[in-house]
């Protein structure tokens, strides 16, 4: 009866408090829409300036290969000076310069004179453009050779195949990872704030003077926010699969089960933070710094962990979201790969156990 009363109270409070509602529902949807539609790590319709000193059938054919690609958008400039100025004004991200002797040298030497200048300010985009141009150039050369029946001077051409996310769509990789971020928001941030609020408003003082047990106080917080967190997860999975067409190759039940493990970890951290800090503002700040930001930055959700410096990589092992992001990306895009899922799930169980145990140990049945 006591527990039921506490759970009901908690739901009523979330429902009446606009800021709780915002964290529990509005922010997740906003993040999903932002990452599903807005943020893209792919280069598409990149404007490229062309400077062609002398137009020939070969230059037109090469350019056509770019014009038909959805990755590029071509613009023409009469000379290098004009193209350089356009690059300075950020109208274009790269310049391809085909010199006068392009056609003549095409089959005479090892490679013809093609000059590619890329704006390196945004290193990520620059690398992408470089890769795409290289690919387009190779494809065009192969095609040309086939048409003319000539063997190329470089005999081996790497043929790439990309598995699991064959279209290399960044949303397919971002949206599953985002689920971990959303569950961190509800599990840790929201939980930390509501518990700290009870300290601040003196309601906890009145509550713990009743025959309520520590277990009931904690479960009274865990159950509502567990349900909210799983609701957030279902919402995110639903939007991922039905709105953003992210494939779900593994099992839905594996997602729910590992999601539960991760949520318990997040809830444990949230409760511990609020028990220790006793102040809404401080609890919110700590929750953002130790749970939300790491889930964003250090979990492999956006930035690849293996390319981080060693010290940063070391820290990622302390970030629970890291294990869950690995599971999410695997289950969504690759399937039920047990050698990946099991060790990560074990890490979640271990961390969750530690934080929940600490929360129970520090939980208040008295005021100090």
How many residues appear in the chain? 368
* DSSP H or E segment with residue 348: helix 338-362
Q: Is 278 in the site for other proteins (CB under 8 A)?
A: no
The stretch among 13-21, 108-116, 179-187, 352-360 that binds other proteins (CB under 8 A) is 13-21
Q: Is 104 in the site for other proteins (CB under 8 A)?
A: no
Q: Which is nearer to other proteins, 125 or 191 (CB)?
A: 191
> Hey, which residues between 310 and 329 contact other proteins (CB under 8 A)?
none
Question: Residue 201, Cα to own-chain centre: how many angstroms?
Answer: 37
Q: Is 5 in the site for other proteins (CB under 8 A)?
A: yes
- Please tell me the count of residues contacting other proteins according to CB under 8 A: 27
From the CB of 25, what's the least distance to other proteins, in Å?
A: 17
Q: Which is nearer to other proteins, 134 or 213 (CB)?
A: 213
From the CB of 199, what's the least distance to other proteins, in Å?
A: 12
Write the DSSP string, 198-252. Answer: HHHHTHHHHHHTSS--HHHHHHHHHHHHHHHHHHHHHHHHHIIIIIS-----S-H
The stretch among 135-143, 145-153, 206-214, 334-342 that binds other proteins (CB under 8 A) is 206-214
Query: In the Cβ-directed half-sphere of 291, how many Cα atoms lie within 13 Å?
Result: 33
Answer for which of 116, 152, 212, 241 binds other proteins (CB under 8 A) is 212
Q: Which is nearer to other proteins, 7 or 298 (CB)?
A: 7
The stretch among 8-16, 79-87, 145-153, 265-273 that binds other proteins (CB under 8 A) is 8-16
Measured distance CA(289)–CA(192) in Å, rounded:
12
Measured distance CA(295)–CA(325) in Å, rounded:
9
The answer to whether 267 and 191 are in contact (CB under 8 A) is: yes
Residue 330, classified by CB atoms within 10 Å of its CB into exposed (0-12), middle (13-18) or buried (19+), is buried
> Hey, which residues between 225 and 244 contact other proteins (CB under 8 A)?
none
């Amino acid at each position: 009866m006591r527990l039921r009363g506490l759970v009901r109270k908690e739901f009523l409070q979330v429902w009446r408090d606009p800021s709780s509602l915002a964290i529990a529902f509005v922010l997740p949807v906003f993040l999903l829409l932002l990452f599903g539609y807005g943020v893209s790590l792919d280069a598409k319709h990149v404007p490229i300036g062309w400077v062609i000193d002398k137009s020939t059938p070969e230059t037109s054919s090469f350019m056509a290969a770019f014009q038909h690609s959805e990755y590029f958008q071509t613009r023409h400039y009469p000379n290098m000076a004009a193209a350089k100025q356009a690059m300075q004004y950020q109208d274009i991200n790269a310049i391809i310069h085909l010199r006068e002797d392009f056609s003549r040298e095409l089959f005479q030497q090892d490679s013809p004179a093609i000059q590619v200048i890329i704006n390196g300010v945004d290193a990520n985009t620059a690398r992408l453009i470089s890769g795409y141009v290289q690919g387009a150039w190779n494809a065009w050369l192969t095609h040309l050779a086939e048409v003319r029946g000539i063997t190329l001077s470089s005999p081996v051409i790497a043929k790439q195949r990309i598995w699991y996310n064959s279209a290399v769509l960044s949303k397919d990789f971002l949206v599953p990872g985002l689920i971990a971020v959303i569950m961190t928001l509800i599990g840790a941030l929201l939980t930390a704030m509501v518990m700290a609020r009870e300290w601040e408003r003196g309601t906890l003082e009145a509550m713990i003077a009743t025959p309520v047990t520590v277990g009931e106080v904690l479960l009274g917080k865990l159950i509502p926010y567990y349900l909210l967190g799983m609701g957030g997860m279902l919402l995110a999975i639903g939007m991922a699969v039905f709105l953003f067409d992210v494939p779900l190759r593994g099992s839905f039940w594996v997602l729910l089960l590992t999601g539960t493990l991760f949520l318990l970890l997040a809830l444990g951290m949230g409760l511990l933070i609020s028990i220790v800090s006793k102040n809404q503002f401080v609890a919110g700040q700590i929750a953002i710094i130790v749970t939300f930001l790491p889930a964003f930055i250090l979990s492999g959700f956006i930035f690849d962990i293996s390319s981080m410096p060693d010290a940063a990589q070391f820290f990622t092992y302390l970030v629970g979201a890291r294990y869950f992001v690995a599971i999410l990306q695997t289950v969504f895009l690759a399937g039920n790969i047990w050698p990946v899922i099991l060790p990560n799930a074990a890490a979640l169980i271990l961390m969750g156990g530690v934080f929940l145990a600490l929360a129970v140990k520090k939980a208040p049945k008295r005021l100090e």
